Amino acid sequence: MKNLPWMGFFLTLMMTAAAYAEDSTKLIPPVEGVDIDRYLGVWYEIARLPHRFEKDLVGVTATYSLKRNGEIEVVNQGFKNTLDGEKKTARGRARIPNPTVPGLLKVSFFWIFWSDYKIIKLDVENYGWVVVTSNSKKYLWILSRTPKIDDALRADLTAFARENGFDVERLIWVEQKG
């Protein structure tokens, strides 16, 4: 009976580790050979999983540009509730920690706190659309160079996300201008 509290602790630890492993994107590889120069520019947010820092935003875009110091400037913009709503802007920076894996970046919007930015599916021919995640399946974005994508591409990217364990039923399809 003395070991009962320890058994409970280890059981809880194992359950937490199993939940983390299920939620982790570690087994989803980043796209190989990403050309960051082609990736730079404006991307329209087509869909995302819900999270607090983009709550109620529509017309969301992400703009990436190379800075003189080699980092990438990240500017995310969107409008609160409607396309005519208050404009919200978040500025951050990104870097490629390992140049041999340019599809796995680190991004920071808050001082010294960095998160994974993992490109997991990309239109490598035209750089017309991309699927991005972080280190957790709670985060997923579908981005495009145009404000809308066709139904066939939408179905393909949704199927890809589902096959990789993302909860696609929770996807928010972002209203865009145009």
Indicate the pTM of the whole model: 0.87
What's the pLDDT at 21? 54
Question: Torsion angle of alpha carbons 35, 40, 45, 46, nearest 10°?
Answer: -40
pLDDT at 173: 98
What is the predicted pLDDT for the residue at 26? 92
The chain-wide mean pLDDT, for the chain, equals 89
- Kindly report, residue by residue over 62-104, the tens digit of the pLDDT: 999 999 999 999 999 999 999 999 999 999 999 999 999 999 9
The SS3 call for residue 173 is strand
Whether residue 54 contacts residue 139, with contact meaning beta carbons closer than 8 Å, is answered with: no
Q: What average pLDDT does range 120-142 have in this prediction?
A: 97
Summarize the confidence of residues 160-171 as an average pLDDT: 98
Q: Which pLDDT does position 107 carry in this prediction?
A: 96
Q: Is the pLDDT of residue 129 over 80?
A: yes
What's the first-to-final CA gap in the chain, in angstroms? 67
Domain ranges of the chain: 4-173
- Asked whether the predicted pLDDT for residue 5 surpasses 70, the reply is no
**Position 134 pLDDT exceeds 70:** yes
Q: How far apart are CA 72 and CA 59, in angstroms?
A: 22
Does the pLDDT of residue 39 top 80, yes or no? yes
Which of helix, strand or coil describes residue 75? strand
Q: Of 9-23, 37-51, 96-110, which range is least confident?
A: 9-23
* Confidence band, pLDDT 50/70/90 cuts, at residue 111: confident
Thinking of the domain 4-173, which architecture would CATH place it in? Beta Barrel (2.40)
